[in-house]
Structure 1
Amino acid sequence: MVDKSEKFNWLVRTGYFARAILYTMIGIIALTSAQAISEGTDGVFKAIEDFPAGTAILWLMVIGLAGYALFRLCSPLFDIENNGSDGKGWAKRIGHAGSAVGHAALAYSAFQFATSSGGSGGGGSGGGSGGGAQQAASGVLSMEFGGTVLGILGLIFFIVAAVQFKKGLSGDFMNRISSAAPDATRWLGGAGFCARGVVYGIVGWSLVQAGFGSGGAQQIRTLGDALAELAGQGAIFTITAIGLLLFGIFSLILARYRIIPELDSDAGVPEFRAA
């Protein structure tokens, strides 16, 4: 049903590593370059593109973010993390579905930059930040009931945002992490999840406006765009940027210490194992 081989294991860990790069860069750019963060996620990918071996890093992010999206998609489809099928379990699984969509969009944006020359792909094709996401949204809106689909997706992102805050405050994410992880993992994750709750809420609101309102696809905000929306908000912006930077460090820890669930071949019951 679901590939639980070592190849899948390493694909997921590559996903966490790619997520670490992304969030760390978002945090650093937000704190050091107002102009770059004003370009949203595109500004982050442009900065990565300018690194030595930047294109190779972008391709790593394409593979990793796509792998992470696949991992999250396995939750609503196969209940890979054994959340159950009651109301609470489905809330978590729907949240994971929203995460899958968000990271798939980020993988697509990274792909646009990786296949472009001189950054003309991701940024140029969309006419501004979040171009890839806005193009995808335009396609959805062109379909019958497309606005309803986007609006419902926005509501899912609100659920995702609520789950992020709950994780950050409760620390229940620690039961998915090996006991060998560093002691600072709890507070790094707590701060990071709360910061993600803020930006996911902004993403959700942009989708609701695009789907149920009259704003259209231009209203869509991606991860970096959501943080850019907070620019000029003083302490709220700074705290959120620091939180996302800490979440990047937290994701790097997860690349090594996250417990990847396996599906028992005999019983078919999801179980966890330490890395």
Structure 2
Amino acid sequence: MSKVSFAQRFGFEKRVPINNDFPETARTALAYLLDDLANRDYEKIRPKQAIIAELCRTGRQKSIDENQSEVFFDQALWHLEKMTWEQIYTFCERAYLKLLAPIGNTNYDINSDYWEEEMPLGEVQKYFEAEINNILVEENLAYHFVNGQFQRRGRAQTQKNIQRVGTVLANPDLADARNHYNRARAFFDQRPEPDVQNCVKEAVCALESCVFTLSKQSNSNNFTKTIKQIEKIPPTISEGIVKLYAYRGDAKGVAHAAPQGSQVSEIEAELVLSLVASYITYIVDLLTYPYDEVPF
């Protein structure tokens, strides 16, 4: 996990995260990271050639001109500067999957030489992930890198709510709700632009599925009635849940292809993701677990 940067701690971070670029300074930082990885001691692979080949493949480029620098850092930066921002994100995901390998050292004695592992693949992947996230935070980019894939960062509270609901939805009985919520996250994380309409639709479907499952009314098609029949939910809170559910029908292009309705932006999509996560966590807590057994 990346640490909170100096700019974040002392309030110097730019206000609006960048979601459609990979700036020149970020490309330079990435080239330094690749140079660091390329100069480690690996077993049975030639990391410099492999990295350059993957940069060429992802960026749809020919190999670097032989007359250019032979220094690996210069070669990597040369390719990164010619790539679109989407291609760089794709390259990082592919590098995590294809290029990383255990790191060790080569020891020699009089009679033989052998390679000894010092950092297993899992640790190398964690290091790469942490360094990529440092670049994203320092450059104020609107993504974070998790298990080899980029996700839209969202606000701190959104991230916390999503993390909690992920634990809650691990319950096998809530598999359908989990599938809907995961699809909502995938639509939100889509590049270059999030699919905000489908994000909202799938998030609300996750809430709907959770309510019907836990209320034992999976055959019901009346969400409002079902919510209001759950006596443990205070009326004011149940009204908030019902209004969020109604937003799916009001928002343009979400439940219907109607020309009328509220426009959905990335801000509304993130809000719905966060609210649905909070409501699902609350409902599961209320209907499934005693207060001293909440699963987070």
TM over 0.5: no
Answer 1 or 2: which has greater strand percent.
Answer: 2
Larger Rg: 2
Give the alignment's TM-score, normalised by structure 1.
Answer: 0.25
Give the alignment's TM-score, normalised by structure 2.
Answer: 0.24
**Larger RCO: 1 or 2 (CA < 8 Å, sep 6+):** 1
